[in-house]
Structure 1
């Protein structure tokens, strides 16, 4: 795998070798390449980001089409799409980047057939589905009736969490860092590690007003009774 260092109109692009993998024809699973050098260049200046280039060659140097060799790219299923994992270190102090003022742009009218942005947060009860039709992790309605338990008080909305935590975990899933890493490991070794689970990320209290056996009015606050938000853990 190479970083494209420079592009030219009259000759081949300049390439910088990043990593090499030696594989047998029957190998199955993910290929992991170290592209740290390329990401460091891109962090310095985004104009360096001309992309990556992947070559597949036989032992005797003959070029092979990656698709015919069995590599799945963007045309493969979503669970096997190529991806990059990056770790960032926090800066020692606040920094401010000075930017040149840009002239105001005229706002274009929104097209009626535009798709919503993938990072747009859905409503509480929006019908959100993954690309393969499965419902992603979100909060659902659940009303607990205390009268069904023989109590005099009515009940309350407790809610519950349910849905898929399939890779890739986007912002609407409120995924923890641990869930993201667990999803990556599950992709590589599904038999060893399960998927991340959909669970409450924030709970709130609810108050219950009732009469005791002596007809005294009692107001009691119970902690962690209502699901406020859900996420992948």
Structure 2
């Protein structure tokens, strides 16, 4: 979902594992933690439609320009106390090949033994199958979970929690990357015109101008970074953004007076333009402006239009530093 889109539905509750993933990769204000655990820059959790052991996930909201890195089927297993003397039961995972066929046809994916008397999430890697589904949506007929005793006899798995059906016991989670640029360390301007012989040729002009403008500069604020807190509730985005509730985007304000000192992080282009403006050599050579020269990303946890929960890194959301450009 691009920023600016408002999701007008009733906000639901995000899966706990998505909340924990957000906490693992981002601070409370959305800025990334130093230890980055996120694979790619987007994670989507699809709740899908479930009917007993059959689960279907609509993947139409997945971007066609994205590359699948990993796909997981997360299934919550409940205690199965009525299986005699067995301590384990078997879980088989199938790709449904034709959900219209009776009996159904399935492609066996994997199997594992799980304890009878414990609850917990089982995570199955189904990257290859989901990649195929995305490339050809006609092959997407869902997933079937079959539980059986070690002897091979099928078992009707218990899906009750406190006497009520658990409708959120299965999720499809896709880690992907849309190819956008990732954050890099802040650039350092080396070899600028301040150390170029061209600068020496106008040194006397700079010195005299600096003397005349020193008193004026003290009255005005030079280019610097200031706080700019964005409250998602106030701009009408709280209906779809789960976390963070807001963040400090910062803003760049102030003047870029001639001559541009090193503390103003001026580019070569800004230095030349500043000189031409001061010498009145061109009407088009306006004064440099105070703008962000380093931008940081933040991570957002939100509901998309299909009510799936998405964790996505958005680039260029925070002004890391300011300079004269």
The higher relative CO (CA closer than 8 Å, separation ≥ 6) is in 2
Normalized against structure 2, the TM-score is what?
Answer: 0.32
Q: Which has the higher strand share?
A: 2
Normalized against structure 1, the TM-score is what?
Answer: 0.43
Larger Rg: 1 or 2? 2
